[in-house]
Amino acid sequence: MNTKAVIFDLDDTLYSELSYAMSGYRAVAGYIEEKGSVKKDRESIYKELTGLFNEDHKNVFNRFLALNGCDDSRERVMELVEIYRGHFPEISWHDDVKPALRELKDRGLITGILSDGYALTQRQKVKALNAEELFDIIVLTDEMGREAWKPDPAGFMLIEEKFGIKASEIIYVGDNPEKDFYLSVTAGIKTVRIIREGGIYADREYYRGVTEDYRINSLTEIKEYIWQSG
Protein backbone atom coordinates (compact mmCIF):
# COMPACT_ATOMS: atom_id res chain seq x y z
CA MET A 1 0.00 0.00 0.00
CA ASN A 2 1.36 3.38 -1.03
CA THR A 3 -0.19 5.81 1.44
CA LYS A 4 -0.69 9.35 0.20
CA ALA A 5 -3.29 10.74 2.60
CA VAL A 6 -4.28 10.31 6.24
CA ILE A 7 -7.77 11.57 7.01
CA PHE A 8 -9.12 11.88 10.54
CA ASP A 9 -12.49 11.74 12.19
CA LEU A 10 -13.04 14.77 14.43
CA ASP A 11 -15.12 13.98 17.52
CA ASP A 12 -13.15 12.11 20.20
CA THR A 13 -10.44 11.29 17.63
CA LEU A 14 -8.86 14.74 17.63
CA TYR A 15 -10.41 16.36 20.70
CA SER A 16 -12.54 15.23 23.66
CA GLU A 17 -16.21 15.17 22.79
CA LEU A 18 -16.97 15.19 26.50
CA SER A 19 -15.32 18.61 26.70
CA TYR A 20 -17.63 19.78 23.91
CA ALA A 21 -20.67 18.56 25.83
CA MET A 22 -19.57 20.45 28.94
CA SER A 23 -18.99 23.58 26.88
CA GLY A 24 -22.46 23.21 25.37
CA TYR A 25 -24.16 22.81 28.73
CA ARG A 26 -22.40 25.90 30.02
CA ALA A 27 -23.75 27.87 27.06
CA VAL A 28 -27.26 26.54 27.64
CA ALA A 29 -27.03 27.32 31.36
CA GLY A 30 -26.20 30.93 30.52
CA TYR A 31 -29.14 31.13 28.14
CA ILE A 32 -31.58 29.71 30.71
CA GLU A 33 -30.33 32.17 33.34
CA GLU A 34 -30.81 35.10 30.95
CA LYS A 35 -34.34 33.97 30.05
CA GLY A 36 -35.21 33.79 33.75
CA SER A 37 -37.43 30.75 33.32
CA VAL A 38 -35.62 28.95 36.17
CA LYS A 39 -34.88 30.83 39.38
CA LYS A 40 -31.32 29.55 39.69
CA ASP A 41 -27.96 31.03 38.79
CA ARG A 42 -25.88 29.89 35.83
CA GLU A 43 -23.51 27.70 37.83
CA SER A 44 -26.35 25.87 39.55
CA ILE A 45 -28.08 25.25 36.23
CA TYR A 46 -24.82 24.03 34.70
CA LYS A 47 -24.21 21.61 37.56
CA GLU A 48 -27.73 20.26 37.24
CA LEU A 49 -27.43 19.77 33.49
CA THR A 50 -24.10 17.99 33.74
CA GLY A 51 -25.39 15.87 36.61
CA LEU A 52 -28.29 14.71 34.44
CA PHE A 53 -25.86 14.04 31.59
CA ASN A 54 -23.67 11.90 33.84
CA GLU A 55 -26.72 9.89 34.90
CA ASP A 56 -27.88 9.31 31.32
CA HIS A 57 -26.76 11.05 28.11
CA LYS A 58 -30.27 10.99 26.65
CA ASN A 59 -32.99 13.67 26.86
CA VAL A 60 -31.02 15.91 29.24
CA PHE A 61 -33.00 19.05 28.38
CA ASN A 62 -36.39 17.30 28.60
CA ARG A 63 -35.51 15.97 32.04
CA PHE A 64 -34.12 19.31 33.25
CA LEU A 65 -37.23 21.23 32.22
CA ALA A 66 -39.59 18.65 33.73
CA LEU A 67 -37.68 18.56 37.03
CA ASN A 68 -37.86 22.35 37.27
CA GLY A 69 -41.57 22.57 36.48
CA CYS A 70 -40.99 24.26 33.13
CA ASP A 71 -42.60 23.85 29.74
CA ASP A 72 -40.97 20.71 28.33
CA SER A 73 -42.68 20.78 24.95
CA ARG A 74 -40.72 19.78 21.86
CA GLU A 75 -40.53 23.45 20.83
CA ARG A 76 -38.97 24.44 24.15
CA VAL A 77 -36.54 21.52 24.13
CA MET A 78 -35.45 22.30 20.57
CA GLU A 79 -34.81 25.91 21.61
CA LEU A 80 -32.18 24.62 24.04
CA VAL A 81 -30.87 22.09 21.54
CA GLU A 82 -30.22 24.89 19.05
CA ILE A 83 -28.28 26.87 21.63
CA TYR A 84 -26.21 23.77 22.37
CA ARG A 85 -25.54 22.97 18.71
CA GLY A 86 -24.79 26.52 17.66
CA HIS A 87 -22.59 27.72 20.51
CA PHE A 88 -18.90 28.52 19.94
CA PRO A 89 -17.20 25.79 21.95
CA GLU A 90 -14.28 25.85 24.37
CA ILE A 91 -12.34 22.82 23.16
CA SER A 92 -8.73 21.94 22.40
CA TRP A 93 -6.73 19.31 20.53
CA HIS A 94 -5.68 16.09 22.19
CA ASP A 95 -1.98 16.31 23.06
CA ASP A 96 -0.92 13.85 20.35
CA VAL A 97 -2.56 15.68 17.42
CA LYS A 98 0.09 18.25 16.50
CA PRO A 99 3.09 15.91 16.95
CA ALA A 100 1.40 13.31 14.73
CA LEU A 101 0.58 15.88 12.07
CA ARG A 102 4.17 17.13 11.99
CA GLU A 103 5.41 13.60 11.35
CA LEU A 104 2.90 13.05 8.55
CA LYS A 105 3.65 16.37 6.88
CA ASP A 106 7.40 15.72 7.10
CA ARG A 107 6.68 12.55 5.16
CA GLY A 108 4.84 14.58 2.54
CA LEU A 109 1.42 13.12 3.25
CA ILE A 110 -1.90 14.87 2.72
CA THR A 111 -3.83 15.36 5.96
CA GLY A 112 -7.50 16.04 6.40
CA ILE A 113 -10.63 15.79 8.51
CA LEU A 114 -13.84 14.06 7.50
CA SER A 115 -16.63 14.37 10.03
CA ASP A 116 -20.35 13.75 10.37
CA GLY A 117 -22.65 15.82 12.54
CA TYR A 118 -24.82 18.88 12.08
CA ALA A 119 -23.03 21.28 9.77
CA LEU A 120 -23.25 24.37 12.01
CA THR A 121 -22.05 22.42 15.05
CA GLN A 122 -19.10 20.87 13.24
CA ARG A 123 -18.12 24.14 11.56
CA GLN A 124 -18.06 25.86 14.95
CA LYS A 125 -15.73 23.14 16.27
CA VAL A 126 -13.45 23.57 13.26
CA LYS A 127 -13.28 27.32 13.86
CA ALA A 128 -12.68 26.94 17.60
CA LEU A 129 -9.76 24.59 16.93
CA ASN A 130 -8.34 26.67 14.03
CA ALA A 131 -8.29 23.37 12.17
CA GLU A 132 -7.93 24.91 8.73
CA GLU A 133 -4.43 26.05 9.69
CA LEU A 134 -3.30 22.45 10.26
CA PHE A 135 -5.11 20.31 7.69
CA ASP A 136 -5.04 20.26 3.90
CA ILE A 137 -8.76 19.55 3.57
CA ILE A 138 -11.79 19.51 5.86
CA VAL A 139 -14.91 17.67 4.74
CA LEU A 140 -18.05 18.10 6.83
CA THR A 141 -20.39 15.56 5.31
CA ASP A 142 -23.58 17.31 6.44
CA GLU A 143 -22.65 20.19 4.13
CA MET A 144 -22.95 17.67 1.29
CA GLY A 145 -26.33 16.41 2.54
CA ARG A 146 -27.46 14.01 5.25
CA GLU A 147 -27.13 11.11 2.81
CA ALA A 148 -23.36 11.72 2.68
CA TRP A 149 -22.82 10.84 6.36
CA LYS A 150 -20.57 7.86 7.05
CA PRO A 151 -20.36 5.13 6.01
CA ASP A 152 -21.37 6.66 2.67
CA PRO A 153 -18.22 7.09 0.53
CA ALA A 154 -19.14 10.53 -0.89
CA GLY A 155 -16.72 12.49 1.29
CA PHE A 156 -13.80 10.29 0.34
CA MET A 157 -14.68 10.48 -3.34
CA LEU A 158 -14.42 14.27 -3.01
CA ILE A 159 -10.95 13.93 -1.45
CA GLU A 160 -9.81 11.51 -4.14
CA GLU A 161 -10.93 13.90 -6.87
CA LYS A 162 -9.38 16.98 -5.28
CA PHE A 163 -5.93 15.44 -4.83
CA GLY A 164 -5.93 12.96 -7.70
CA ILE A 165 -5.44 9.93 -5.45
CA LYS A 166 -7.01 6.48 -5.17
CA ALA A 167 -9.10 5.09 -2.31
CA SER A 168 -6.41 2.49 -1.66
CA GLU A 169 -3.95 5.33 -0.95
CA ILE A 170 -6.06 6.75 1.91
CA ILE A 171 -6.01 5.82 5.60
CA TYR A 172 -8.90 6.92 7.80
CA VAL A 173 -8.37 7.26 11.55
CA GLY A 174 -11.52 7.10 13.67
CA ASP A 175 -12.96 5.85 16.94
CA ASN A 176 -16.58 4.89 16.30
CA PRO A 177 -17.23 1.20 15.50
CA GLU A 178 -20.76 1.99 14.30
CA LYS A 179 -19.58 3.72 11.14
CA ASP A 180 -15.86 4.52 10.89
CA PHE A 181 -14.52 1.10 9.97
CA TYR A 182 -17.23 -0.13 7.59
CA LEU A 183 -15.76 2.53 5.29
CA SER A 184 -13.26 -0.12 4.22
CA VAL A 185 -16.23 -1.77 2.50
CA THR A 186 -18.09 1.27 1.16
CA ALA A 187 -15.12 3.52 0.30
CA GLY A 188 -12.35 0.96 -0.22
CA ILE A 189 -9.97 2.70 2.19
CA LYS A 190 -7.79 1.42 5.03
CA THR A 191 -8.98 2.20 8.56
CA VAL A 192 -7.25 2.71 11.89
CA ARG A 193 -8.96 2.83 15.28
CA ILE A 194 -7.72 5.19 17.98
CA ILE A 195 -8.58 4.08 21.52
CA ARG A 196 -9.26 7.10 23.73
CA GLU A 197 -9.79 6.84 27.47
CA GLY A 198 -13.33 7.94 28.21
CA GLY A 199 -14.29 7.94 24.53
CA ILE A 200 -18.05 8.23 24.08
CA TYR A 201 -18.19 5.59 21.34
CA ALA A 202 -15.77 3.09 22.87
CA ASP A 203 -18.44 0.51 23.72
CA ARG A 204 -20.40 0.66 20.48
CA GLU A 205 -20.82 -2.47 18.34
CA TYR A 206 -19.02 -2.82 15.02
CA TYR A 207 -21.35 -2.22 12.09
CA ARG A 208 -21.93 -5.58 10.38
CA GLY A 209 -18.94 -6.92 12.26
CA VAL A 210 -16.39 -5.04 10.14
CA THR A 211 -13.37 -4.04 12.23
CA GLU A 212 -10.39 -1.75 11.70
CA ASP A 213 -7.21 -2.74 9.86
CA TYR A 214 -4.99 -1.47 12.67
CA ARG A 215 -5.40 -0.20 16.23
CA ILE A 216 -3.48 2.54 18.07
CA ASN A 217 -3.53 4.23 21.48
CA SER A 218 -1.89 7.47 20.34
CA LEU A 219 -1.98 9.27 17.00
CA THR A 220 1.81 9.30 16.97
CA GLU A 221 1.61 5.52 16.43
CA ILE A 222 -0.03 5.96 13.03
CA LYS A 223 3.40 6.28 11.45
CA GLU A 224 4.19 2.68 12.40
CA TYR A 225 1.27 1.37 10.36
CA ILE A 226 2.13 3.58 7.41
CA TRP A 227 5.79 2.66 7.40
CA GLN A 228 4.97 -1.07 7.74
CA SER A 229 2.45 -0.90 4.93
CA GLY A 230 4.72 0.88 2.49
DSSP per-residue letters across 184-228: HHHT--EEEEE--TT-TTTTPPPGGG---SEEESSGGGHHHHHHH
What tens digit of pLDDT does each residue of 141-193 get?
A: 999 999 999 999 999 999 999 999 999 999 999 999 999 999 999 999 999 99
**What SS3 state is found at 15?**
strand
Burial of 204 per CB tally in 10 Å (0-12, 13-18, 19+) = middle
Convert 109-175 into a string of H (helix), E (strand) and C (coil).
CEEEEEECCCHHHHHHHHHHHCHHHCCCEEEEHHHHCHHHCCCCCHHHHHHHHHHCCCHHHEEEEEC
Q: Is the pLDDT of residue 9 over 60?
A: yes
Q: Is the pLDDT of residue 1 over 90?
A: no
pLDDT attached to residue 205: 94
In this prediction, residue 229 has a pLDDT band, given cuts at 50, 70 and 90, of: low
**What SS3 state is found at 6?**
strand
pLDDT attached to residue 202: 83
CATH number, domain 5-16+91-229: 3.40.50.1000
C-alpha count within 13 angstroms, C-beta hemisphere, residue 42: 11
DSSP characters over 22-81 = HHHHHHHHHHHHHHTSSSS-HHHHHHHHHHHHHH-STTHHHHHHHHTT----HHHHHHHH
pTM for this model (two decimals): 0.94
What tens digit of pLDDT does each residue of 34-82 get?
A: 998 899 999 999 999 999 999 999 999 999 999 999 999 999 999 999 9
Q: Which residues pair with 148 in a beta bridge?
A: none
> Which has more pLDDT, 116 or 200?
116
pLDDT attached to residue 52: 97
- What is the rounded average pLDDT of the residues 2-20? 97
Q: Where are the domains of the chain?
A: 5-16+91-229, 18-86
CA 206, CA 12: separation in Å to the nearest integer? 17
Phi-psi region of 71 (alpha: psi -120 to 50; beta: other; left: phi over 0): beta
Element (H, E) at 5: strand 5-8
In this prediction, residue 197 has a pLDDT band, given cuts at 50, 70 and 90, of: confident
- What is the rounded average pLDDT of the residues 202-212? 93
pLDDT attached to residue 198: 82
What tens digit of pLDDT does each residue of 106-155 get?
A: 999 999 999 999 999 999 999 999 999 999 999 999 999 999 999 999 99
Distance of CA 193 to the CA centre of its chain: 14
**What SS3 state is found at 86?**
helix
Q: Is the pLDDT of residue 230 over 60?
A: no
In this prediction, residue 203 has a pLDDT band, given cuts at 50, 70 and 90, of: confident
